[in-house]
Amino acid sequence: MANVVAIIPAYNEEKALADVIGKTLEHVDEVIVVNDGSSDKTAEVAIEAGARVISHSVNLGKGEALKSGFKAVGDDSIIITIDGDGQHNPSEIPDLIRPIIEDGADLVNGSRYMNGPEENTPAYRRVGQKVLDIATNISAGINVTDSQSGFRAFSSNSRKVFRFKDTGFGIESEMLVDAAEAGLKIVEVPITVRYDLDGSTKDPITHGVGVLFNIAKDKVLRTFKK
């Protein structure tokens, strides 16, 4: 089986990070934590838990954290991205890898909504997510059910298509757009998520508005370049 590396972009995630790393290491060969300018003990916790740590001296954003992580992974590795706040379930990593190994998928998107509405998702989050899903699908010409998922798997051949232009949380949509424009095979698998954890470092309203603006701006710029 191919080497599997998990990338965890982390900003002030000391509370849940050790548990996430430990459970993730049960399913991958290596965990890389990109400490994105944290002011807490994120880096120390990650090292003690067995992860390789890449540190940014200041907070650059999730897009930059993923860019650093992807650069650090060997060319032949399958990449998993998973959040460090404990919302994702690392035991579902094999489900994300399977379509790459068995069906030749290039990007496997873990979806909270593939099988219908996720009952644990707060209503205000789901409304915002739906708007971003529609915008992303229109921009990319695809039909995914969870465009903002941070729990994904990438084939070793996919990494060369990603621009990493968006430095923030809009990177989730941008990567789907890049994969679609490159003709990569995108599939979804259902995942579960927890919202009862006090680990999120982003305001959902500010996050949603910012991502929507970046999707629209990117679509306009790509249209004019054609």
Convert the pLDDT of each residue in 141-178 to its tens digit.
999 999 999 999 999 999 999 999 999 989 999 999 99
Domains of the chain by start residue, with CATH: 4-225 (3.90.550.10)
Q: Among residues of the chain, what percentage have pLDDT more than 90?
A: 77
pLDDT, residue 206, reads: 62
Q: What is the pTM (predicted TM-score) of this model? A: 0.90
**Higher model confidence: residue 224 or residue 44?**
44
Mean residue pLDDT across the chain: 91
Q: Summarize the confidence of residues 49-54 as an average pLDDT.
A: 98
pLDDT per residue as tens digits for the range 187-202:
999 999 988 775 555 5
HEC readout, the chain: CCCEEEEEEECCCCCCHHHHHHHHCCCCCEEEEEEECCCCCHHHHHHHCCCEEEEECCCCCHHHHHHHHHHCCCCCCEEEECCCCCCECHHHHHHHHHHHHHHCCCEEEEECCCCCCCCCCCHHHHHHHHHHHHHHHHHHCCCCCCCCCCCEEECCCCHHHCCCCCCCCCHHHHHHHHHHHCCCCEEEEECCECCCCCCCCCCHHHHHHHHHHHHHHHHHHHHHHC
Q: Among residues of the chain, what percentage have pLDDT more than 70?
A: 88
**Higher model confidence: residue 25 or residue 195?**
25
**Does 124 score more than 90 pLDDT?**
no
pLDDT, residue 116, reads: 79
